[in-house]
Amino acid sequence: MAVTVGDAKQDRVVEQRAETVPASTAVIEAIAELESTQPMTLDVTLYDSVDLDALDALCEGSSNIGVSFTADGYAVEISGDTVVVERY
């Protein structure tokens, strides 16, 4: 479930991540929501900025983890089951 915050251009997306959804998938889905497109059509390469397997392992089953990074013009923050993506 994504909750969009911002102006009509939509500059921020807050996504609640289900326990069964890997953090990397939630980030990609949030960026797609922000760009009003499907995840498969994104021209974003998260793996150039963060190790996706390590991100998923770090966030798996832990609600006390906080992770933030930037990738391709987006600031990403993961805290527990919440993913926030902002365009910068």
Where along the chain do its domains lie?
Answer: 2-87
Q: How many CA atoms lie within 13 A of 30 on its CB side?
A: 33
pLDDT, tens digit (0-9, with 9 covering 90-100), for 28-40: 999 999 999 999 9
pTM assigned to the model:
0.84
pLDDT, tens digit (0-9, with 9 covering 90-100), for 48-61: 999 999 999 999 87
Query: In this predicted structure, what is the pLDDT of residue 9?
Result: 53
Contact 75, 9 (CB under 8 A): no
Residue 42 — very low, low, confident or very high, per pLDDT cuts 50/70/90? very high
Contact 78, 65 (CB under 8 A): yes
DSSP 8-class letter at 12: E
Does pLDDT of 4 surpass 70?
A: no
Would you list the DSSP string of 59-88? Answer: HTT-SS-EEEEEETTEEEEEETTEEEEEE-
Helical (H) or strand (E) element with 24: helix 23-34
